[in-house]
Amino acid sequence: MDYKGKIYRPWMEANSLLIQTTLGCTHNKCTFCDMFREKRFQIRKIEDIFKDIDQARQIYPQIKSIFLIDGNVLVLKTDFLLQIIEKITSTFPECSKISLYAGLNDLRRKSVEALTQLRQAGLSKAYVGLESGDPVILKRIQKGLTPEQAVAGMANAKAAGIDILVSIIFGIGGRNRSGEHIVETTRLLNLMAPEELAPMALTVQPGTELADQIATGDFIQASPLQILEEETYLLENLNGFPTFYWGDHGNNILSLKGRLPESRELFLKRVRQAIETHPVTKKTVLLTTPW
């Protein structure tokens, strides 16, 4: 496999075959993210992508799940992406899941017809980063997304039957905007009702604009207690839409994973217990591991 540069995939896709279709991210401006800083966005040649797919077939006798990388793969023209998905389904007939990274704006810009074509060809799920539902924070982190655009992107995905995993970041509002962050994020999630939800505690990647803002005092990190309070608010105020909660990222204070709303009370019990007894609540800042 001819992977270029640093490779990222969601932790839920640890057992998936990764097929690189693009290099980098078209946006590449979020202040907290250094995933694709060293890459200029490019679309790989279709023959190189097909070569990787054929090579993987030689190596792996069974592939159940495939994840398309790098950053927002859904920015690709629908016909191009259809060719890749059709090549995958013909090469790996046993593969039951094809997923990719997408921007909510990519979903918004594609028509429901185009997304339905992709769904019918075999695309089952897209991973999107919302990070926050607060328009002030979205602007500060240079997400290039408004809450209205997020809702519109989600509506297109739902109309096409593509499952969406939304990731949000606890602590992205910092110490001074923790309340607004979680209230607005929860409100937006209740409108979007994603099939899966992945909350992650903020990780400060060295060399990012966010790291500089912390160094100059322009951004004060939320405390671990605030992060737990954000999780409490979220769990208390999601309005009962069915979703799978992936609160088990390695940098989270607690590892909570399961279906909502069924697991809501159990998760809340654990978060409230942590607020009372977890030693991390005495710290000013949550120590996380950059990736």
C-alpha–C-alpha distance, residues 291 and 289, integer Å: 6
Side chain identity, residue 57: R
| Residue from 16, 20, 21, 28 binding ligand SF4 (CB under 6 A) | 28
Q: What one-character-per-residue DSSP string does 179-234 give?
A: HHHHHHHHHHHHHH--SEEEEEE----TTSHHHHHHHHTSS-PPPHHHHHHHHHHH
49 binds ligand SF4 (CB under 6 A): no
36 binds ligand SF4 (CB under 6 A): yes
Give the residue carrying structure tokens 């939304």. 166
Sign of CA dihedral 86, 151, 230, 70: positive
Q: How far is the CB of 233 from ligand SF4 (least distance, A)?
A: 23
249 binds ligand SF4 (CB under 6 A): no
| Residue from 16, 71, 150, 201 binding ligand SF4 (CB under 6 A) | 71
C-alpha–C-alpha distance, residues 172 and 203, integer Å: 9
* Nearer to ligand SF4 (CB atom), residue 9 or residue 57: 9
**For residue 44, what is the DSSP state?**
P
130 binds ligand SF4 (CB under 6 A): no
27 binds ligand SF4 (CB under 6 A): yes
Taking alpha carbons only, the member of 153, 152, 133, 154 closest to residue 143 is 133
127 binds ligand SF4 (CB under 6 A): no
* Nearer to ligand SF4 (CB atom), residue 208 or residue 243: 208
Q: How far is the CB of 113 from ligand SF4 (least distance, A)?
A: 25
| Residue from 12, 18, 33, 166 binding ligand SF4 (CB under 6 A) | 33
Per CB under 6 A, residues contacting ligand SF4 are 25, 27-30, 33, 35-36, 71, 103, 129
